[in-house]
Amino acid sequence: MKAAEAGRTTKAFEKAIARKSTGKYLLRLYVAGATARSRRALMRARHLCEVELKGRCVLEVIDVYQQPILAREGQILATPTLVKEFPKPVRRLIGDLSNTSPLFIGLDLNKKPKRRR
C-alpha cells in the first residue's frame, strides 16, 4: 500500500470512529410480562436513553410472552435482557440494570458512571 493510500485509509478510519460516538444507539429490552424486575429494567433503560444518551437512542421493548419468536431469534435465555444492536459490536446485559458500571462498559459509553455514596 502506498503512503498516500495509507493516509487516506487512516483518515477514513478516524472519521468513522468520530462518527461512532455521535451516532444513534439501537437498544432492545427483552422483558417477561409486567413483573417488578421488568418494570425496573424498563425504567432504567428509558432513563439511560433520555439522560445519558440524550435522544441518541432508539429503545425497542419486547415482551417475550407476547412475541416469543423475536425472543427465540434474539437468542434470549433470561429476562430482562438489554441488547445493544447498534453501534457494533452487539452487547447483551442481563438483569434489571440496577448496577450502572457494567451498563456503561457494556454499551461502550465514553462517559464514566457517577459513583454512589
Beta bridge partners of 81: 30, 94
In this prediction, residues 6-30 reach a mean pLDDT of 64
Going by C-alpha positions, the residue among 33, 38, 35 that lies closest to residue 94 is 38
**26 φ, ψ (degrees, to nearest 5):** -110, 115
In this prediction, residues 58-67 reach a mean pLDDT of 94
Q: Which secondary-structure segment (H or E) carries 27?
A: strand 25-31
Q: Are the C-beta atoms of 103 and 64 separated by less than 8 Å?
A: no
Residue 62 has pLDDT above 90, yes or no: yes
What's the predicted TM-score (pTM) here? 0.69
Q: Which amino acid is at 69?
A: I
Give the whole-angstrom CA distance, residue 83 versus residue 62.
11
Percent of the chain with pLDDT over 70: 74
Q: Domains in the chain, ordered, with CATH?
A: 24-106 (3.40.30.10)
Mean pLDDT, all residues of the chain:
78
Residue 12 has pLDDT above 50, yes or no: yes
Segment 25-56, tens digit of pLDDT = 899 999 999 999 999 999 999 988 888 888 88
Predicted confidence at residue 104, as pLDDT, reads 74
Residue that the C-alpha cell 451516532 belongs to: 23
Q: Which amino acid is at 115?
A: R
Residue that the C-alpha cell 462518527 belongs to: 19
Residue 114 has pLDDT above 60, yes or no: no
